[in-house]
Amino acid sequence: MSRLAEVSPREMRTAATAAVRSALDKCNIQPIRVPPGRDIKHEGDRATTLYLVESGWLYSYCLLADGRRQIVLLHQPGDVIGLADLSGERSICSLRSLQHCVIHPVPTSALSAPSFLTSGVATFLLRKAAEAQAIFARTLVAVGRMDARNRVVWLMLMLHDRRDVDVGISERGEIATDTLIDMPLNQTEIGDLLGLSNVSVSKTLCQLSEEGYIERQGSTIVLRRLADMKRMVDYADLDFEPNVLFQSSRSRIIDTIASSVPEVTQTPKATLSSK
């Protein structure tokens, strides 16, 4: 699973967790609560803080002169936001909440404390940076070389891969929660993430639904043919570190899924029957 050098994964992780937690405590940082759809920072602002995500999704995006937009990275609970800004004076992208979020601002000045080097914080950040790079690379392949259909499939697989590892205890219903994902993005946002128009996203989703690959219930999606989909886009799983800082997210996601798809487990939707 996770690895940095030869330290055992679990060792490193718990060490880093403790270090980061205590660093947070020392800074006496108050978490910020953000409602959905709010901008937290803008491209070009002075970059003075990182954010640790406790709950809720956010995304970093860039605006083009003509108003078009590219979402550059999704942020989920446990992620560190703003690593890219450490290379320059100013932020290279804007940050917006997708849901109601709780985030912990960390002034970059805290990184100069002596404890930064001796504690596991540097290691933790480095691992998070590595994870982000892996996501970036994959995204680039999808956006650069796949058609609309495959890009959408790819995104769903990525979300499936990245969701908290320990969600999947199936209920008595037929559908293993293992094939459920939560995709709390509207189609315009999906398009902005994949370099597509909202129209293209809509058509693709409908088509995938008709063909029985997926089933949609609001923001929840059942991946009916997970293996086929993985083959379709040649998807290889990545190693994501589960959220070690704010474990609470686990139960939250289970709640979300439990509350949003009871119907699916009972009625085999009509959308699935042939075409």
Partner DNA sequence: CGCAGATTTGAAAATCGTCAAAAACCGTGG
Partner DNA sequence: CCACGGTTTTTGACGATTTTCAAATCTGCG
DSSP letter assigned to residue 183? -
Contact region with a copy of itself (CB under 8 A), list: 140-148, 198-206, 207-215, 265-273: 140-148
> Which residue in the set 14, 26, 38, 133 belongs to the binding site for a copy of itself (CB under 8 A)?
133
Closer to a copy of itself by Cβ: residue 18 or 136 = 136
Q: How far apart are CA 257 and CA 171, in angstroms?
A: 11
Q: How far apart are CA 221 and CA 158, in angstroms?
A: 13
Q: Does 185 bind a copy of itself (CB under 8 A)?
A: no
- Residue 61, SS3? strand
Contact 195, 188 (CB under 8 A): no
Contact region with a copy of itself (CB under 8 A), list: 4-12, 160-168, 173-181, 209-217: 4-12
Find the shortest distance in angstroms from Cβ 211 to DNA.
Answer: 13
- Positive or negative CA dihedral for 132, 137, 139, 143? positive
Q: Does 130 bind a copy of itself (CB under 8 A)?
A: yes
Burial call 130-163: b when 16+ CB within 10 Å, e when fewer: ebbeebeebbeebeeebebbbbbbbbbbbbbbbb
> Which residue in the set 28, 87, 259, 273 belongs to the binding site for a copy of itself (CB under 8 A)?
87
Closer to DNA by Cβ: residue 60 or 187 = 187
Find the shortest distance in angstroms from Cβ 162 to a copy of itself.
Answer: 12
Radius of gyration of the chain (CA): 19
Q: Does 152 bind a copy of itself (CB under 8 A)?
A: no
- Residue 10, SS3? helix
Interacting partner of 172 out of a copy of itself, DNA, none (Cβ under 5 to 8 A depending on kind): none
Q: Does 14 bind a copy of itself (CB under 8 A)?
A: no
Q: Which residues contact 118 (CB under 8 A, 6 or more apart)?
A: none
Closer to a copy of itself by Cβ: residue 122 or 254 = 122
Find the shortest distance in angstroms from Cβ 171 to a copy of itself.
Answer: 31
Q: Does 157 bind a copy of itself (CB under 8 A)?
A: no
Using CB under 7 A, list all residues that contact DNA: 68, 147-149, 186-188, 191, 195-200, 202-203, 205-206, 216, 218
Let me know how many helices (H) and strands (E) the chain has, helices first: 9, 11
Edge to edge, what strands does the sheet with 69-75 contain?
Answer: 39-41, 94-97, 58-63, 69-75
Count of positions on this chain that bind a copy of itself (CB under 8 A): 64
- What is the β-pairing status of strands 180-182 and 94-97? unpaired
Give the binding site for a copy of itself (CB under 8 A): 1-7, 44, 60, 62, 64-65, 68-70, 72-73, 83-89, 92-93, 108-112, 116-118, 120, 122-123, 125-127, 129-134, 136-141, 143-146, 194-195, 234, 236, 238-241
